[in-house]
Amino acid sequence: MKPLAAQPSRRLSDAEIVARAHRSDRNFAILGLSVLVISMIVLLSLIVDFMVDGLGRIDLDFLTSFPSRRASEAGILSAWVGTTLVMLVTTALAVPLGVAAGLYLEEYAPRNWITHLIEINVTNLAGVPSIIYGLLALGLFVQSFAMGQTILVAGITLALLILPIIIVATREAVRSIPLEIREGAYALGADKWQTVSGYILPTARPGILTGAIVGMSRAIGETAPIITIGALTFIAFLPPSPVQDTFPFINFNWLNSPFTVMPIQMFNWVSRPQAAFHVNAAATGLILLLMTLLMNAIAIWLRYKIRRSMR
């Protein structure tokens, strides 16, 4: 190991060496704090920028109008309806599948090469760029299966994208449950599935919920994979209503409808040269930003509560 101080031309006394070390220690603490403050300032200026540019544009008309060639008349009705419906599909697919996969890996999987392969694969999938999921959907769902550029395809694509997030969250939540709970259940004569469904799942629920919220907030803001499947950007109509007044009162025709979502609408407006459309983009972005920040805040709060109840 090197001597504590770099060799200066003049010999330093021990006291000087110690004082210097303490000075750099303090300076580093200040440096660390400044980096932190700077990154907070960036986040804050981003939020403020969106508020300044977009807040004045948000009103009831903006939420209830279709996109238009005239910036001042355009709105995000089709975009937020599309986002809601796509998220419905994504959540309905990703949460059950992710939780099931997480439970399997944590509670059932034998230690063999298949399990190892699945684990490495989940880790790798989490690192695959989102636009690659878009290419998968374009090549497989849109072209090979001829499903078209529909809400269903977008929902499936985003579900695959957030699957690793939910799997990892489920595994962490399940892993943190003390062994005694399982042993208690077995001692009462419960079998594996009774233990998992009656004890493990309820105990892990807050952790799983956290993962689901983080995954959904990621999916709401995702733009690239949906552009890649070729979703149109000018949609001036709504998908067919899922509710009808004749039996059986609900239908799934909306799944096969073309659509747009909020991030796409925002990208479309920010890519135009006219400043008036940038205002619309900022207003859409502000709503999107508030939604994702809120979801993340809920997730953080949930995690905090879990940690406190574990103690």
Partner 1 sequence: MRVVLFLSAALSVLVTAGIVYVLLSESLKFFAQVSIISFLTDTQWTPVFQDKHFGIMTLVSGTLVSSLIALLVAIPAGTVLAIYLSEFARPQVRETIKPFLELIAGVPTVAFGYFALLFLTPIFQIFIPGLAGFNLLVPGIVMGIMILPYIVSVSEDAMRAVPAELREGAYALGFTRLQTATRVVIPGAFSGVTAAYILGMSRAVGETMVVAIAAGQQAKLALNPLEGAATITSYIVQISLGDVPHGSIAYLTIFAAGMTLFLMTFAFNILAFWLRQKYREFY
Site for partner 1 in 241-260 (CB under 8 A): none
Q: Is position 133 an interface residue for partner 1 (rule: CB under 8 A)?
A: yes
- Least separation, in Å, of the C-beta of 227 and partner 1? 5
Q: Is position 289 an interface residue for partner 1 (rule: CB under 8 A)?
A: yes
Residues 185-224 binding partner 1 (CB under 8 A) are: 192-193, 214, 217-218, 220-224
- The single residue among 12, 55, 120, 276 that binds partner 1, judged by CB under 8 A, is 120
- Closer residue to partner 1 in complex, CB, 77/288: 288
Q: Is position 145 an interface residue for partner 1 (rule: CB under 8 A)?
A: no
Q: Is position 37 an interface residue for partner 1 (rule: CB under 8 A)?
A: no
Q: What is the dihedral of CA 222, 227, 229, 233, to 10 degrees?
A: 120
- Closer residue to partner 1 in complex, CB, 224/238: 224
Sole residue written with tokens 């940690």: 307
Q: Is position 62 an interface residue for partner 1 (rule: CB under 8 A)?
A: no
- Least separation, in Å, of the C-beta of 83 and partner 1? 11
Binding piece for partner 1, criterion CB under 8 A, among 68-76, 83-91, 138-146, 177-185? 138-146
- Least separation, in Å, of the C-beta of 147 and partner 1? 14
- The single residue among 36, 92, 236, 276 that binds partner 1, judged by CB under 8 A, is 36
Q: Is position 101 an interface residue for partner 1 (rule: CB under 8 A)?
A: yes
Q: Is position 302 an interface residue for partner 1 (rule: CB under 8 A)?
A: no
Q: Is position 46 an interface residue for partner 1 (rule: CB under 8 A)?
A: yes
Q: Is position 92 an interface residue for partner 1 (rule: CB under 8 A)?
A: no
- The single residue among 58, 227, 238, 302 that binds partner 1, judged by CB under 8 A, is 227
Q: Is position 85 an interface residue for partner 1 (rule: CB under 8 A)?
A: no
